[in-house]
Amino acid sequence: MSEILSNSMRFNRFLAKAGLGSRRVCDDLIQRGLVTLNGGIEKNPAVQIQLEQDIVVFQGSRIQLEVHHHYYLLNKPAQVITTTNDPYGRTTIIDLIPVQDRIYPVGRLDYDTTGVILLTNDGDLAYSLTHPKFQIPKTYAVRVLGQVSQDDLERLPLGINIEAKTPAIAQVLDHSYTDRYTDVRLVLREGRKREIKRIFMALGHKVVKLHREQFAFLRVDDLALGKYRELSSTEITKLKELANGYQG
């Protein structure tokens, strides 16, 4: 059944629901003038689209709302770009999921980072799962060169300054040492760009291996690197409950 509840919708939400990307991505497309509205450039993401009469075009094709949403869970390998296409011809996560649906990643993982990532054409859910205010937990296994002191590990939940914003906060679940490395499992709830690498860089250590074990409640223990599966209806419902702040 269609999710359209009225005859108008914000420009950015319309594009997100049509499967072009999260609302952040759609804001960027609009503001760069890459989407036309009734034959002209409209750079205001908040303008109202009249669903039954306005004509929206992107890359030569008219954009219409997606009625059926699709959700995939991928165990991302290293040396794969978290994007829908790459001008340099490198492998993208879209290349690993040979489906006809227009889908895009929920958030991102670095080129050399492995593990859990979601792909969908549900722009509203993607927005909620990636926006910092929703505090969706992501669990990582991190290998760091050198011995991270106990004092520095205890600083992580208090916040590490990595930029001129609020400190980056990480919850440490456990850690262990070898002769050359410190292995740490931690949880992030914001997901800034290269956040974990920048946290340990601020402490004087280099991350040499990074794997996302879990996104919310989803894991990829049963998926080999590069493999994917569709989410079950139960998993989709639970994700939407989390995105809506349900705590039951």
Q: Which residues are catalytic?
A: 110
The rounded distance, in Å, linking the Cα atoms of 10 and 47 is: 6
- Give the CA distances from residue 231 to residues 94, 109, 123, 142, 244, in Å, rounded to whole numbers and listed in that order: 16, 19, 16, 26, 18
Cα angle at 132 between 24 and 116, to 5 degrees? 85
The rounded distance, in Å, linking the Cα atoms of 9 and 13 is: 7
CA 205 to chain centre: 25
Virtual CA dihedral for 226, 231, 232, 235, nearest 10 degrees? 120
122: nearest Cα among 104, 108, 136: 104
Which one-letter DSSP state was computed for residue 134? G
Position 72, amino acid: Y
Helix (H) or strand (E) holding 202: helix 195-202
The rounded distance, in Å, linking the Cα atoms of 222 and 53 is: 47
Q: Taking the alpha carbons of 107, 110, 114, 119 in that order, is the dihedral positive or negative?
A: positive
